[in-house]
Structure 1
């Protein structure tokens, strides 16, 4: 049993650097369903009190190569607006608000609002956010439901624009190095 478990979406986001440093990483796979399932599995298996999510994100607000701590998650692809609900709101989910707020752990990092969706964003999201990913909201919701603390830091790989797919792949190694350095310096 450990108080902390590390989760990332893909091995390409760690480039094997965490494993080389002897750090166990749980990989969720891409998207909200995979992330929710893996988060639940990791929390049940490890009994962790904190789930640390390190990964990549796109942003037209933050600079590329910047580390950003997510202090709020929203769903950028939940759209039941034809039934009168605001974009981002899950209908009939009174127990949990549409926005999931997290306390800031790394005071030296800028704080961001991450819009999560099951698409690789290359435009302007329908919800107010300043970075985008594909797993974070699901991790946050599982952690909220199971009373587990979530800390999430994203490396900005791209501008969430029409070259985002190229920039993302090109910047993965530098991102892995910066995320590993943050992890090692934080004393986890």
Structure 2
């Protein structure tokens, strides 16, 4: 998870270790790399919050694909979301599904708190997922990602995000306990 506020301490109260990355792609990439190197894990589970104008608030959604919503080198002729000269890794990072009972989505990651329509096609928005996915892909580690929809990625997103963290932590913990 990005922040302790996303778990509300519930995971720790149940003896489930959580690694908090901090906000944004750089912090997420560093934390993913650090955890993978220290633990040798073969699967990384990313639970967190997201905004969406496609899914209702309080929904749990499994991410099937990550894209970058803030990578824009279009003046040089590259499509929005594409990192130039990164031939080894496409702009879209696909994930294998794990929670088949959950709806799936494309998640657009960016280093901004989204309050409008992203420039790339996606149903949910976050601030860390693409970076986690890219590190995992490069290191051969499976990533499973589930997002709790806290807000509509609109002009009240900052209020809704804060108001819905507790319910989100409860729902993510229930999902974890059901499957692991």
TM-score under structure 2 normalisation? 1.00
Q: What is the CA-CA distance between 1:52 and the residue it aligns to?
A: 0.1
Task: Note the residue ranges of structure 2 that are not aligned, 5 or more in a row.
Answer: none
Match of 1:137? 130
Distance (Å, rounded) in 1 between the aligned partners of 2:116 and 2:17? 34
Equivalent positions of 1:48-67 (< 5 A) are 48-67=41-60
Deviation per CA, 1:98-125: give whole Å up to 9, x if none: 0000011011000000000000000000
Task: Note the residue ranges of structure 1 that are not aligned, 5 or more in a row.
Answer: 1-7
Which of 32, 49, 65 is 1:72 aligned to? Answer: 65
Match of 2:86? 93
Distance (Å, rounded) in 1 between the aligned partners of 2:142 and 2:21? 18
Structure 1 runs (4+) deviating above 3 angstroms are: none
How many aligned residue pairs are there? 180
What is the RMSD of the two structures over their aligned residues, measured on CA atoms? 0.3
TM-score under structure 1 normalisation? 0.95
Which of 43, 46, 62 is 2:36 aligned to? Answer: 43
Match of 1:162? 155
Distance (Å, rounded) in 2 between the aligned partners of 1:55 and 1:43? 19
Distance (Å, rounded) in 1 between the aligned partners of 2:169 and 2:142? 23
State the secondary structure of the residue aligned to 1:156. Answer: strand
Match of 2:172? 179
